[in-house]
Amino acid sequence: MSSDVRFTDFKSDKQPTWCPGCGDFGTMNGMMKALAQTGNDPDNTFVVAGIGCSGKIGTYMHSYALHGVHGRALPVGTGVKLANPDLEVMVAGGDGDGYSIGAGHFVHAVRRNVDMSYVVMDNRIYGLTKGQASPTSREDFETSTTPEGPQQPPVNPLALALAAGGTFIAQSFSTDAQRHAEIVRKAIEHDGFGFVNVFSPCVTFNDVDTYDYFRDHIVDVDDTDHDPTDETAAKEKILAADKEYQGVLYQDDASVSYAERHGLDSDMTEIPDGAPEDAMDLVREFY
Ligand SMILES: Cc1ncc(C[n+]2csc(CCOP(=O)(O)OP(=O)(O)O)c2C)c(N)n1
Ligand code: SF4
Ligand SMILES: [Mg+2]
């Protein structure tokens, strides 16, 4: 880790193929800033990406990266972090990747509370496959596969995370650059699973959840008297159907990460009660 890392050090030499104006540019920009601000550098950072337009992010960032299978980024990220706790692990993907095919992994990653961050580029549509409804699409959003809209209420990812025992639950807007970077930074600094749902508009296929829509509707929790450590207050805001909140909605200050809970951070060379010294000599040979 180095203190003089600039956020542009996280930019790869590959030019993004995202459509001009895609929200994912801003989302990635904030992720790179947050990584630099927290003292990380490309040599200690591992980005695991899902499949989708959003999933291309690992190619555009300069770090260790894995572009995995659709919906499976979280278990891969979990494995990377547990195998090498010294790495800063950031998992990134789309609303389809995380809340549709990957929904089961999402719930279990949240409750495991492994110390990593998860950034979802929520454009409320399947962008890469050209505009089908996603789990976060509005009930009446007409697409090629849902000509009369999905006709079922959208998934509320923040509510899902809270119900699963989430310890850091936040939301940001990709073009609110400084604020978005600040929220991702807090997710990285959180001791546990830092989840950020990012409004990251798809300018090509979603003509309802647009930049203008979010600009007109977002309420920043920092402009309210919200206390993110108050779970009841967090629940109230997260379930408010008529609001699009930005900021840290919930943070459990007493969060205990998976590694801490299971003693995975412990020194493997220390002699536990009952272990003979000669057995420990054999253990030490591996450290
Ligand atoms: C197992 C599997 N099923 C389906 C697909 C097809 N597919 C690719 S991306 C995608 C959805 C992408 O939507 P989202 O995760 O929201 O990402 P976006 O493109 O909007 O960023 C689907 C269904 C796939 N690649 N693999
Ligand atoms: S199709 Fe939508 S999500 Fe995909 S790159 Fe274009 S604007 Fe972004
Ligand atoms: Mg999407």
Query: CA–CA distance from 124 to each of 41, 83, 97, 212 (Å)?
Result: 31, 33, 11, 15
Residue 12 has pLDDT above 80, yes or no: yes
Q: Are 102 and 93 in contact (CB under 8 A)?
A: yes
Q: Which ligand is nearest to the CA of 22?
A: 2
Which amino acid is located at 117 in the chain? Answer: S
Most distant pair of Cα atoms in the chain: their distance: 71
Domain annotation covers residue 108: yes
Sign of CA dihedral 171, 175, 176, 177: positive
Domain of 130?
7-286
Domain-located, residue 2 = no
**Beta carbon of 53 within 6 Å of any ligand 2 atom:** yes
Residue 95 belongs to some domain of the structure: yes
In sequence order, the β-bridge partners of residue 119 are 92, 196
In this predicted structure, the answer to whether residue 79 has a pLDDT above a threshold of 60 is: yes
Instruction: State whether the beta carbon of 35 lies less than 6 angstroms from ligand 2.
Output: no
Residue 1 belongs to a domain:
no
70 located within any domain: yes
Question: pLDDT at position 2, please?
Answer: 58
Tell me, using a 6 A CB cutoff, whether residue 205 lines ligand 2. Answer: yes
Backbone angles phi, psi at 266, to 5 degrees: -70, 155
Residue 195 Cα, ligand 3 centroid: separation in angstroms?
A: 16
Answer yes or no: are the C-beta atoms of 125 and 133 closer than 8 Å: yes
The torsion angle over the Cα atoms of residues 24, 30, 35 and 41, rounded to 10 degrees, is 70
The count of structural domains within the chain is 1
Q: Please say whether the beta carbons of 35 and 88 come within 8 A.
A: yes
**Residue with tokens 């509370």, as numbered in its chain:** 113
User: What average pLDDT score do residues 80-108 get?
Assistant: 97
Residue 71, sorted as left (phi over 0), alpha (psi -120 to 50) or beta, turns out to be left
Contacts of 151 (CB under 8 A, 6+ apart): 139, 140
Q: What DSSP designation does 43 have?
A: G
Q: Is the pLDDT of residue 265 over 80?
A: no
Cα-to-centroid distance, 279 and ligand 1 (Å)? 50
Q: According to the model, what pLDDT value does residue 287 have?
A: 76
pLDDT tens digits, 142-174 = 999 999 999 999 999 999 999 999 999 999 999
Q: What is the CATH number of the domain that holds 268?
A: 3.40.50.970
Tell how far the Cα of 70 is from the centroid of ligand 1, in angstroms: 6
Instruction: Please list the alpha-helical segments (H only) found in the chain.
Output: 24-37, 57-60, 73-83, 95-96, 103-112, 157-163, 177-189, 211-217, 231-238, 258-261, 277-284
Instruction: Decide: 126 in ligand 2 pocket, CB within 6 A.
Output: no
> What does the block give as tokens for 228?
């993110």
**pLDDT for res 281:** 87
pLDDT tens digits, one per residue of 210-237: 999 999 999 999 999 999 999 999 999 9
Inside any domain, residue 60:
yes
Non-local (6+) Cβ contacts of 254 within 8 A are none
The model's confidence at residue 266, banded by pLDDT at 50, 70 and 90, is low
| 264 pLDDT tier (thresholds 50, 70, 90) | confident
Helix, strand, coil percent content, the chain, rounded in steps of 5: 35, 20, 45
Taking residues 243-257, report their average pLDDT. 96
